[in-house]
Structure 1
Amino acid sequence: MAKKSEATVEEKLRALYDLQLIDSRVDEIRNVRGELPLEVEDLEDDVLGLKTRLDKLKTDVETINFEIGAKKNLIEEAKALIKKYAEQQKNVRNSREFNSISKELEFQELEIQLAEKNIKEFKAQIEQKKEVISETKERLAERESHLKHKKSELDAILAETEKEEKALIEHSEKFQNEIEERLVKAYKRIRHNVKNGLAVVPIERGASGGSFFTIPPQVQVEIASRKKIITDEHSGRILVDPVLAEEEAEKMQKMFAKL
C-alpha cells in the first residue's frame, strides 16, 4: 500500500475493509469463547467463597470444643470444691458457718448444672455446624467439578484460537498504522456504535450490509467509482461496493488460512 498521504481513496477503502475483516474475525473467535471466561471466573469465586466458609465453620467448631473443655474443667473444679465444703461442713462450730458453707455448696451445684446445660447447647451447635460443613463440602465438590469441566472447555478453545487471535491482533495494529489516523478514529468510533462491530460494509441487494434501507442508484454508482469515502446516512457505516468487498474477502481468507 502507498504511504498514508499518497494513498488513493480506493486503497484507503480496501485497507479499511481489510481491517474490518480482520477485526470481525477476532470478534468471531471471541464469540466462540463467549461467556466461558466469565463463567470460569464466577466459579473460581464460588470455590474460594465455599473454602473460606468451610475454614470459618471448622474454626467455629474448634472454638466451641475449646469452650466445652473449659466448662468440663469448671465442673471438675466445682466438684472438688463441693467435696472440700462437704468435709468442712462436718466440722462447723455454729449454724452461721453451716449456712455459709451450704450456700457455697448450692452455688457450686448451680455452676455444675449451668455448665452441663452449656455443654449440651455447645454440642447441639457442633452437630448443626457439622451438617452445614457436610452440605458445604458437597457443594464445594460440585463447584470444583464444574470448574474443572469449564476450565477444560476454555483451555481447549484457547489452544485452538489463541495463536490465531494474537496474529490477527498484530495484523490489525499493522493495518491501522498504514491508514490515516483520522480514518482509523472514525472507523473505531463507528465500530463502537454499531451492531456487531461492523463499521465498513458492502452494498448488498441495493442496501447497506445488514440494513433494510435502500441506497439510491446514484449513490451506489458513486460508491462503485471509489473516488470518495461514503457513509450510510442511516447507520453511519462506511460503504464499499460488492466487487471490492469480494476481492478483499478472498485475499484476507488466504491470509487467515496461513495463520
Structure 2
Amino acid sequence: MLVIHEVSKQTGISVRTLRYYEEIGLLFPTAKTEGGHRLYGEEELKILQQIVFLKTLGFRLKEIQPLLNESWDWAASLDHQLAFVQAEQNKLKQMESAILGLQHALTIEGSLNESLIQKIIKLSTQENGKKQEFRQQIFSETDLKLIQKLPNINRNDPHSLEWISLLGQLRELKESYDAGSAPVQRIIKRMMEKAAEEYKGHESFLEKMWDIRKSSSQSEQLGLYPLAEDFLHFIDQAFTIYEAKNISKGDPQQ
C-alpha cells in the first residue's frame, strides 16, 4: 500500500489531481490511515494507469469513468473517439493552412489589414468540392494536372516560397519604381524563367491562368491568392514591357 504522496512521486500525477479524481468519483483510495492519509493498493494503481492512458487518447474525465467498467462497449467508444480525433486534426490542418497563408500574405503585402485577413481565412477554409467543380468547368484534364503544380499561399514547399518571395519583392519595388525599371524587370525575368521551367510546352495554360488571375471573381472561385487590382495591373505592365523588349531582341525563349 502506498500513501498519496508516494503514488504522486511514482506516477508524476499531483496530489491535488489524485484528490480531485476522488472528489468526482473516478478513483478512490483503498483505505485511510488513522491519521487520515489516503492509501492506494495495486488495483487502484492499475485504474490510475488506465485513466492516464485514456486521457492520452483524448477522452475527457467524464467519459473515462464508464470506460473503467468491464461491460462498457469499447468498440463503439473507440470508433467515436477516433472520429473526434480525426475531426480535430482537420480543424488543426485548417488552422495551420490559415496561419501559413497569413505569414505568406505578410511577405507579399508587407502588412496585413482586416479585409485581407478575412480573405485569407476564407481561402484557407474554402471547400475543395466547389473549387474542383469550377476547375472542371473550364479546364482540360491536362490543365487540371498542371493546376496541382501552381504555387500555393498555404504551403511551405520551395516552389511556392520562391513565388511568394518574388511577389513580395515586386510589391516593394512598386512603391519606388515603374514597371519598366531594371529592378522590376529582373524580378519579371526570374518569374518568366520559373514559368518556362515548370510549364514548358503549356503556354496556353499559363495564358488562361493569367486571364483568370486578372478576374477577382474567377480568382476567388479557383482559390487563388487575392492580389490587389493595382498590383495586378503593375505586374501586367511589367510583363508586357518584358515581352516587348525580348521580342525586339529576338529572344529565342519568346
- Give TM-score, length-normalised by structure 2: 0.26
Give 1 or 2: higher helix fraction. 1
- Highest CA radius of gyration, 1 or 2? 1
Greater RCO, 1 or 2 (C-alpha within 8 Å, sep 6+): 1
